[in-house]
Amino acid sequence: MTDDSSYNLKKSIQKRRWITGLLFASTLLSALLLWKSEPVVQKRLQSASQLDSLLSSALEETGLSSSQLQKHTVRVDSLFSRSVYRVYVAPGYSKTSLHYSLQQAVWPYGVSTVGLVEFPARTLNLHFMLNDNILSSVIIIDDPELRVRQSQTSTSSGQASHEVD
């Protein structure tokens, strides 16, 4: 029995040394990657119209047609109004991918997105926020009139194009 317990003790010590070595190696690798990486340059958002421009450009890059996009302005108070975009997509379109594309466009400016899904319609409301203020909103709505058509150019970008039946 003493042979078994000493064997188990040696095996336990060996496992601990192995784990310690792996932790040390991962710490060194993490430090090296952190040291070699370039810092993220935080850009400043100059105005709400700059955010509108970023969102418009990002929406154009997704391959959606202009007939699927609507923009209107909502007056919040006497000093501020907010742009609201309505985006009509086919029921099979990836709203998550669109959300990700829009987030990537505004992230360098410190703008965060909050997404809310309304059920049962599965409408995705994206709110673009800076300093706890909603600057703009994008509402992504399923439109049964549209159908998803995969094309070679859109497949490579991960998005699908749409056409009306």
> What CATH number does the domain containing 98 carry?
3.30.460
Say which residue, 47 or 154, is predicted with more confidence: 47
Look at 31-35, 114-118, 125-129, 145-149 and tell me which has the smallest mean pLDDT.
Answer: 145-149
- Exposure string for 19-33, b = 16+ CB within 10 A, e = fewer: eeeeeeeeeeeeeee
Number of independent structural domains in the chain = 2
Q: Are residues 74 and 21 in the same domain?
A: no
- 106 lies in the same domain as 152: yes
Q: Check residue 148 and give its pLDDT.
A: 64
Q: Is residue 43 in a domain?
A: no
pTM value > 0.95: no
Beta strands in the chain (DSSP E): 69-75, 81-89, 112-118, 123-130, 133-142, 146-149, 161-164
- Is the pLDDT at 46 greater than 60? The verdict is yes
What confidence score (pLDDT) does residue 153 get?
36
Q: Are residues 111 and 130 in the same domain?
A: yes
Q: Which domain holds residue 8?
A: 1-37
Average pLDDT for 5-13: 87
User: Is 104 inside a domain boundary?
Assistant: yes
Give residue 47's pLDDT: 86
- Return the pLDDT at 17: 95
